[in-house]
Chain A
Amino acid sequence: MSNVPSDLKYTKSHEWVRVNGATATVGITDHAQRELTDIVFVELPEIGRQVKAGDGCAVVESVKTASDIYAPVSGEIFETNKMLADDPALVNREPYGSGWFFKIRLSQPDELDRLLTPEQYQAQIGE
């Protein structure tokens, strides 16, 4: 049974979004890290990159395969999680904590309304 915190928003592609005023922190869900298991590398976007909602902007690699991570909302990437370079398994251990991926300065805050609620995400993963 995967953890789906009630204070976050979600995407169909298994990212989570923590909104903090005009910025948002993005990571992958507990369900996603379980599906991937054994995460060995995370490729993060460059600081300053402008992304549109739905753009592929990071890659997470497990032993078995590489998976794209998409920007849940539009804006500018202003911070990435440097700890993941040395310890990518943080994503497995703390997907909603120190295993976060990047932070976005929102350019279209109304996009947040299109994200999934915890209940909708829970229903999607069927748990």
Chain B
Amino acid sequence: MLKRTALFAAHQKLGARLIDFGGWEMPLQYTSIVEEHLAVRNAAGLFDISHMGEITVSGAAAEAFLNRVLTNDIRQLTPGLGQYTLMCNPRGGVLDDLYVYRLSDEVYLLVVNASRTAADVAWLQSQRETFPRRDEVSLTDASHNYSAVAVQGPRVKEFINAVIPGAAISARRANAVSDLKKNEIGGFRSEHGGVLVARTGYTGEDGFEIIGSDEALRHVWDRILELGTPRGLKPCGLGARDTLRTEVCYPLYGQELDEQTTPLEAGLGFFVALGKGDFVGRNALVDQKTGGVKKKLIAFKMTGKSAPPRPHYAICSGGQKVGQVTSGTQSPCLGVGIGMGYVPPELARPNTEIEIEIRGKNFPAVVVPKPIYPVAGRRRMG
């Protein structure tokens, strides 16, 4: 039996096509992946992300504990600020990639991948047991308490304050939701209970993720549809979520990231603070930083007419297999096949000509800088 989010009835009402995503019955698309994708780039899109996991870590030693298990430097976070970070095993392999928010001095919220929630909680608990100040850290899987949506796109700021009116009452004390800056999180009152609003997302566009009780989020979902639809907003499924994140080269756990792959190989060194002191995986990552990586994540574009690249297709160079596609699709914004994949570092430089094997035939492609589709005003990643 697949798990369903609190918004399941809303998806059915909108005629969503549903798929099994990591044990959750989630919308793949409502009308068309391309239409939904373009709505996010040009106006706005609304996503149910309630399947994602939420873990709270609190206590006097919460900061020290998280700085031991996560790769980024958590001491950069003042209350009301979040950061992208990774959790590694001792070999430097990625256990999960996640957002961590500091809600107050001693309270942190981790937003993790749905498919990894149980493994993350088990790992964090085992790490806590060997942590010297374990009595000063408490750790709770709060996933079942929360629903969540993402509302993304250049026009979201026009209506978000009407969806959630008023000033923040906790975390970043913004005067209005639209006053939050990138990666800031505020706690706001809504008619149906408090919600946390963070200015972040997985599409490359400006936007917010909103977390709260099932009842609060059902209300928020309806209000966003009501106020956003006249401005071009569409409800969007996981299909568009995947094409949007692929265009901007955000990794997806299970495709670009796994326990055998390090953040350095994935081009995520910016989020690994090797200088912050010891943390799980640091020794392996320092060795890799010194000795060099054996594979590197590239972004590529098809250069001729071909079917779109797909995960697991071979990447070739001079007719020899040199790597594998991790994500691939037809870019709705560019109208060409695009993808990511791992190759030896000597083939990872932009403008390197490669081939993608599609059903037994090789088609030309070229390594391109990340992101593949640069969204205006956004810092490049990786």
What residues make up the interface of A, taking CB atoms closer than 8 Å to B? 37-38, 40-41, 43, 59, 61-66, 85
Contacts and interface: CB of A to CB of B under 8 A. Distances in A.
B284 to A, nearest CB: 36
A66 B29 contact: no
B275 to A, nearest CB: 42
A11 to B, nearest CB: 22
A43 B359 contact: yes
The list of the 3 closest CB pairs from A to B, nearest first, reads A40-B330, A63-B33, A41-B307
Interface of B: 28-29, 31-34, 239, 243, 305-308, 310, 329-330, 332, 359
Contacts of A66: 307, 310
A63 B359 contact: no
Contacts of B310: 65-66
A41 B307 CA distance: 6
A63 B307 CA distance: 10
Given A38-B34, A43-B359, A63 B329 contact: yes
Nearest to B237: A64
A43 B306 CA distance: 9
A29 B275 CA distance: 60
Contacts of B243: 63
Contact of A59 (B34, B239, B307): B307
Nearest to A62: B33
25 contacts: A37-B31, A37-B32, A37-B33, A38-B32, A38-B33, A38-B34, A38-B332, A40-B308, A40-B330, A41-B306, A41-B307, A43-B307, A43-B359, A61-B307, A61-B308, A62-B33, A63-B239, A63-B308, A63-B332, A64-B28, A64-B33, A64-B329, A66-B307, A66-B310, A85-B305
A64 B37 CA distance: 12
- Which of A61, A64, A65 has most chain B Cβ within 10 Å? A64
Contacts of A37: 29, 31-34
Contacts of B28: 64
A116 to B, nearest CB: 24
A119 to B, nearest CB: 26
B305 A63 contact: no
B4 to A, nearest CB: 21
Nearest to B240: A63
Nearest to A37: B32
A64 B239 CA distance: 7
